[in-house]
Structure 1
Amino acid sequence: MSGTSRAPWLLSAPAFVLFACLLLVPLALTAVLSFQMFDHATGVKNSFTLAHYAAVLTDDYYHAIFWRTLWISALTTLICVLVGAPEAYVLSRMRSPWRSILLLVVLAPLLVSVVVRAFGWSMLLGPEGLVNQVVRAVGLPPMRILYTEAAVVIALVHVMLPFMVIPVWTSLQKLDPGVEDAALSLRASHFTTVRRVIFPQVLPGVLSGSLIVFGLSASAFAIPGLLGGRRLKMVATVVYDEYLHELNWPLGAAIALTLLLANLALMLSYNRVLERSYKKAMG
């Protein structure tokens, strides 16, 4: 191999080593741990077993938790697309200084800790929170929102919305305004222009944002833990319980890796479907 052909490998070697140390090595160790036996009296044993994966794949308890995690993540992603894409479009059409102000408003949730935001939502959605105070003021009975799936979805949308707005806004920045003006000059309606001209070109941004939002929502821990309570389990909270309460590290590792594989399968399938739609729309 010549010096010229080795140069890209040498330049990328530090990043690859860092990537391997921070991601690949921990994943490999977690995978090895998930196949080890566990005894409540003696702890982790250096013996091979598939019992943990069998429990995750056959127990209805884990089926319900995985289903709840995936559908809450999917609903959060859908709401972020429906809210974030139009918000990004409005943001791209604004002029200074309003664009900077709205961009700061969009990014503001990222400046505050997730735990602080979760506690803030718990105060808003609690039995004596602002939401129920407004409900009582209009003469309606108070609602039970805290420690429900609705509370988790509301807080996740608030946290994840910037991860949808920014990729879509970036895609819109690459869009030539003359294309939209040409469509309007040919008497296309605004809805048709958005559907036939703008949306196909920002679809990569929607795809990127959807994958980020879904992945982060499925692995979220602080919000489900604080707003879902002890009864409303999601995968991340179950992994936490297995590691720190039950001390069953192999089972916790098996649950975490199962979630990772399920996320990868769903995200790759979603990516393929949207890429086909994008090629069809652009072709």
Structure 2
Amino acid sequence: MNRNRAHHGLALTLPAALYFILLLAVPLALTFVLSLRGFNLDVGGIVNTTSVRNYVAVLSDPYYYTIFLRTLVLSVAVTLLCVLVGVPEAYFLFRMRDPWRSLCLVAVLGPLLVSVVVRTLGWSILLGRTGPINALLLKLGLIAHPAQMLFTLGAVIVVMVHVLVPLMVLSVWTSLTRLDPAVGHAARSLGAGRATVMWRVVLPQIAPGILSGSLIVFALTASAFATPALIGGRRLKVVATTAYDEFLGTLNWPRGAAIAVILLVANFVIIAGYNRVVERRVTRRLGGVS
């Protein structure tokens, strides 16, 4: 009986495993192989040699350190802001009553139905020197000349938060749907204040949603291309745009593949460390179960 169950389980998981291998593992393996190749534009580009020269070139160049550090700062800032905005937003939506809750939830999640490129182009119009925001500030007399908001790290952070905060709301909302309101009412009846109930009762139960949402936001921000490219421009490079330039600008595919692999490994290390250290310690401190 157990052997039959194992065979049935293998048969059910095999299609998903093959799909994963074909569409993810194989391209990643080919990218890693490409990153070990040499490059010489004089002899036609990619040279059929194997070495770690591209990794040494990236990891020993201060120029790339600046780009990786900028990407890390961007990812951390967007993640923190998404937590600060998305968690209260999801909680207030959860406390609303229908039909207002459904309408507000659709309004919050509605941007997910629009392409990220379209949303980013809309933000580029809003933040432009002749855009509505500058026009309003000039009319109110708050600035004397149009402010340069595009092509700055702050603009990229704001737009990335707008793009990704619905995912944080969804993650927290999933945890809130499993929240038992009777526990909060019981704490209030025993004399606990609203802040205490929020900190000691609600937050530990929605901590998994906050942590999973922050992991998703961090990973998507670190690997984002469209928004940093359109809002940050050529002067404000992140890792994804740098890899793109290596592939299509200098045509140095092995160097671009090495940058992509380093980004993947860095993302994995940071996310694994975050999941191992932060989730366990914070959840225990808040009184939940790790």
**TM exceeds 0.5?**
yes
**TM-score if structure 2 supplies the norm length?**
0.95
Q: Does 1:10 align with 2:11?
A: yes
Q: Distance in 2 between matches of 1:97 and 1:262?
A: 44
Q: Distance in 2 between matches of 1:282 and 1:3?
A: 38
Q: Distance in 1 between matches of 2:208 and 2:15?
A: 29
Q: Does 1:220 align with 2:221?
A: no
| SS of residue in 2 equivalent to 1:282 | coil
Q: CA deviation at 1:214?
A: 0.5
Q: Distance in 2 between matches of 1:219 and 1:165?
A: 20
2:118 maps to what in 1? 116
2:275 maps to what in 1? 271
1:282 maps to what in 2? 288
1:56 maps to what in 2? 58
**TM-score if structure 1 supplies the norm length?**
0.97
Q: CA deviation at 1:7?
A: 1.5
Instruction: Tell me the amino acid that sits aligned with residue 184 of structure 2.
Output: E
Q: CA deviation at 1:279?
A: 3.0
1:258 maps to what in 2? 262
Output one character per residue of 1:75-125: Cα deviation in whole Å (capped at 9) or x when no partner.
000000000000000111111111111111111111111111111001100
> Which residue, 234, 239, 242 being the options, matches 2:238?
234
Output one character per residue of 1:17-54: Cα deviation in whole Å (capped at 9) or x when no partner.
00100100000000110011111122111111111101
Instruction: Tell me the amino acid that sits aligned with residue 201 of structure 2.
Output: V
Q: CA deviation at 1:4?
A: 2.7
Q: Distance in 2 between matches of 1:229 and 1:264?
A: 27
Most deviating of 33-42 and 203-212: 33-42
Most deviating of 4-13 and 213-222: 4-13
Output one character per residue of 1:131-180: Cα deviation in whole Å (capped at 9) or x when no partner.
11111112122321111001101110000011100010110110100001
Instruction: Tell me the amino acid that sits aligned with residue 136 of structure 2.
Output: V
Instruction: Tell me the amino acid that sits aligned with residue 10 of structure 1.
Output: A
2:31 maps to what in 1? 30
Q: Distance in 2 between matches of 1:107 and 1:66?
A: 31
Q: Which runs of 5+ in 1 are unaligned?
A: none
Q: Does 1:84 align with 2:86?
A: yes
Q: Distance in 1 between matches of 2:5 and 2:127?
A: 61
Q: Distance in 1 between matches of 2:25 and 2:149?
A: 40
> Which residue, 103, 106, 112 being the options, matches 1:104?
106
Q: Distance in 2 between matches of 1:149 and 1:15?
A: 39
> Which residue, 195, 204, 214 being the options, matches 1:200?
204
Q: Distance in 1 between matches of 2:173 and 2:48?
A: 51
Output one character per residue of 1:220-273: Cα deviation in whole Å (capped at 9) or x when no partner.
111100000111001110111111111111100100110111111111111122
> Which residue, 131, 135, 141 being the options, matches 1:129?
131
Q: CA deviation at 1:9?
A: 1.0
Q: CA deviation at 1:127?
A: 0.5
1:67 maps to what in 2? 69
**Pairwise CA RMSD:** 1.1
Instruction: Tell me the amino acid that sits aligned with residue 116 of structure 1.
Output: V
Q: CA deviation at 1:282?
A: 2.3
Instruction: Tell me the amino acid that sits aligned with residue 238 of structure 2.
Output: M
Q: Following TM superposition, where does structure 1 have runs of at least 4 consecutive aligned residues deviating by more than 3 angstroms?
A: none
> Could you tell me the percent identity over the aligned residues?
53
| SS of residue in 2 equivalent to 1:2 | helix
Q: Which runs of 5+ in 2 are unaligned?
A: none
Instruction: Tell me the amino acid that sits aligned with residue 132 of structure 2.
Output: L
Q: Distance in 2 between matches of 1:260 and 1:107?
A: 28
